[in-house]
Structure 1
């Protein structure tokens, strides 16, 4: 039986071969290049065709396999990373430095106001990597099949607040995110009694909603949570206390970088978290400059999160059970994880 990792490796090798042969390659050449059977290759190629990544052209009795989406990087010496505005990724400075030291590649960090925008930019090919909620990345994989989730990250740092004197029995959160997952679980378990859900798309919009009392509950992350507390909101629940939300954000990498680079970046990423845990304040000033979050808030944030370099398989299983996604199958979704 082919494992998820081996299957992903074969797909990456095919895409790598096609990126070097944009004019196409004979299908009959691929089994020997990949060391796989013709029948298994046919299954993979049909799947890649359905995803719109390749096309097969029949010339006589020969099939030519051609790439449909050719990935153009702005520079081989620059990787573009997207992150959601947050105090969560305090290990990022280690990762950027280690990528430069190990691969001689600069990491350009782009900050986005929400998880959906970050993932959309990745699917469109405008960024190569994303630190964003695990749940968002899973949906991103389902939609594109173009990402690989290579490591864990931080958990905690997000909370449900009750807004005083609000007359609207509504809960608001960011959309398709850890906050949204927290909202769903809290309602399902009767931890909050909201009758409807609305969404905000930026931290400033969340603050405006809370100020105007447009919702009874609001679910936010640090340091946005501090602004909500200053408005007198009462903390109801920490999302990270829910068993299904062990991870908040994880690292997703575009398949178009190639399997060898994905493996190397994943290894560097996991090591960067370990180094951060040994000296968590080293890159706080650098992170403050990237995110425009005051360094005094980042120093307090160090102890808000738990960090795990690896994906926790038990919590991942609980998450998938909670999402109750049946299309595609569980086995197909698991191919997103390296």
Structure 2
């Protein structure tokens, strides 16, 4: 295994620190990791300056790596990085790696600005602008979207926000592609699609866009979330989610890595966009009431706990 380059994190690590991944680093992880450090400050800047000063060296190192890791012929990253948990392969770089890199460079520029590091800010902002131009020129699919799948498309809508305005024609085109590619999943297990992963990633991106510029579109987001809760998560009494799902003998099976923290977090965050935040109150069943619109009316999600308890669990030995 190659050593992890400076400015990156391990793909995964054991609880006591050592590297546990099958690859030494992932380009999307570098981008999302940097953004996460900035995002924590961004949520409460008045009280977190000391925090940002403490983590800025890590932000700077990762941004420096992403600037250096550049193909001069395309201004994108070279095709030699692991994107997610895949070995470098034909067709790279894709939006799965390039989008998080753009998000990282914009976040690094914002962090440098917040701390008054003018030289860093200019360097990071220049690379972000160059990368944004390269992305616009290199990636174009149906109707002007950048990505043709709901997973990378979901990231494009949020948190990457390739274009800052959700009114932008290419952002609207990406939203249409994301829903078109998502919808067949929500016909499972009876429909033609027999396997899938990360539907909540697409729903989260759509939730952000629809909540701002297309409120009627939230009906589709809610439909998808109900499918995750009613169908994908209801295959066994625990209701937990794996990373992916497949259909076996007409029944949904959720796999692997259960409970899959990321997929469950995506479901939670997408639900907040779809229904709004509502404080938890004990005694309201498995699911709370979420306000469905700004005038305070609410829509009660069906209580799934009884159906989950009644559902027939499939023993792992029988898969």
TM-score, normalised with respect to structure 2? 0.26
Give the number of the structure with larger relative contact order, counting CA–CA contacts within 8 Å between residues 6 or more apart.
1
The structure richer in strand per residue is 1
Which structure's residues are more often helix, by fraction? Answer: 2
TM value normalised by structure 1: 0.25
